[in-house]
Amino acid sequence: MRGLLATSIGVTCAAALALPLTSPATAAAVRPAPTAEAGIADIADTRATSLPGSTQSLPLSPLTSLTRDRALGNADQGLSRRDVRRFSLLGVIWDDPDAELEARVQVRTRPAGGNAWSGWQDVETHNADHGADPDTAERSSGRVRGATAPLWVGDSDGVEVRVHPDTRSRTEETGRGVRTLTAPAPLPTGLRLELVDPGAPTPTHVPVGPPRTRAVPNAEQAAVPNAQEAAPAPLELPALSRDQTSRELISPNSPHGSESTKSRRAKPYIGPRPAIVTRRGWGADESLRETGFRYTSTVKAAFVHHTATGNNYKCSQAPSVIRGIYRYHVRSMGWRDIGYNFLVDKCGTIYEGRAGGVTKAVMGAHTLGFNSNSMGIAVLGTFSSAKPNSATVTAIARLTAWKLGLFGANPKGKTYLKSGGGNLYPRGKNVRLNVISGHRDGFATECPGKQLYGKLGSARSTAAHYQGR
């Protein structure tokens, strides 16, 4: 993957560093319609059915279980084993984004073209800690839904799912004393299984640069598209040395603008820019996301996450995993774009996430309550018990040394962020955090997993070293 991307870059990358992208729809094979038996509602983009990738949305229904305690009632929901169109990533969504799914979600799948079914796999249900901040346009769009974390299962064409509610206990006083009653927790309404085919990028998937502002005779300045000025973005931004990074920032022709130049001169600590696979490089279909971009004033902190998609992927599949997460965030969960600003795979490759420019303070949807003036870095995988390798930790350090350095932040330092509202800190509270924090530092969650969280101290020290501190 990396070799292919590196050899594809024959253009100067300076113009791509601002990197807000848009892209026309591209041709891809149209998948056959599902069988009536499957009962699938296909919510692939209806504006152009030839766009790469698709989503199958299957409503869950009550399951009959002879082994359940009849006193608890039949509260399970799910889908019986069935054939479906090919997919590689799945998750469960529901109507109310503020409703918690108090249940165990398990799935099993069948590899495409095969006969043997996998064992049952757990899907991470606690995903409410991700998302846009309350009272933002993205959160209040009316399209946002509750969701589990997505799970990568590889190329599959069969699925079975069961959702088993947690048991709630309560006490009740009676004439004979106090008794304990148990009942299944109510499930949110509108439970659906989302099956995502990430599609395959094509060579014709060429993004077009943003409209440029130029003088218009007898009129105010206006944003006017100019095809001659719109150059295709590279597939990957190559790594720069620390000196090259510094020279680029203070260059009068730098695309970063005067603010970055002033910041660089006043605060000289910055790490070398690592190689970054662009959105074009991982095959983002730019017609999926909302147009335009959202920015905050600075980047004071980085929150590290894990995607909880599992670790059963090859590094060559990482772009497909990212395309699957992107489609799940936008089409299934109703977000304006992928939630993370950057992603890192287990081979240490860094990928651009939410569109708007890798050097800019792009507002993401990664840490509920703390998306302003921060960035989110998601490591592909699940690290509750599995340990991240050194390549992953080094990539986090290199990325934070560079990006935080653009805004004068010390990776080993502390900073204050104002809470936008969450389950740990009330809205408006100034919270003191590590400049490199784990997701759990801003929200009561297990993310980024115990094992990855335990490596953040090493990432802070290494990032500071890269900055020359």
Q: For 352-366, how does the pLDDT look when each residue is reduced to its tens digit (9 = 90+)?
A: 999 999 999 999 999
pLDDT score at 135: 81
Look at residue 257 in the predicted model and tell me its pLDDT.
43
Q: What is the mean pLDDT of the chain?
A: 81
Q: What is the pTM of this model?
A: 0.81
pLDDT at residue 49 tops 60: no
Please say whether the beta carbons of 120 and 89 come within 8 A: no
Domains in the chain (CATH in brackets) are 2-23+223-466 (3.40.80.10), 36-197 (no CATH)
Q: Among 48-52, 163-167, 220-224, 366-370, whose mean pLDDT is lowest?
A: 220-224
Say which range, 228-237, 239-248, 312-321, 401-410, has the weakest mean pLDDT: 228-237
How much of the chain, in percent, has pLDDT values that exceed 70?
Answer: 76
Does the pLDDT at position 259 exceed 60? no
pLDDT digits (tens, 9 = 90+) for 78-133: 999 999 999 999 999 999 998 999 999 999 999 999 999 999 999 999 766 778 88
Q: State which amino acid sits at residue 370.
A: F
pLDDT digits (tens, 9 = 90+) for 382-424: 999 999 999 999 999 999 999 999 999 999 999 999 988 877 7
pLDDT at residue 74, rounded to an integer: 63
- Mean pLDDT confidence for 358-380: 95
Average pLDDT of the residues in 267-284: 92
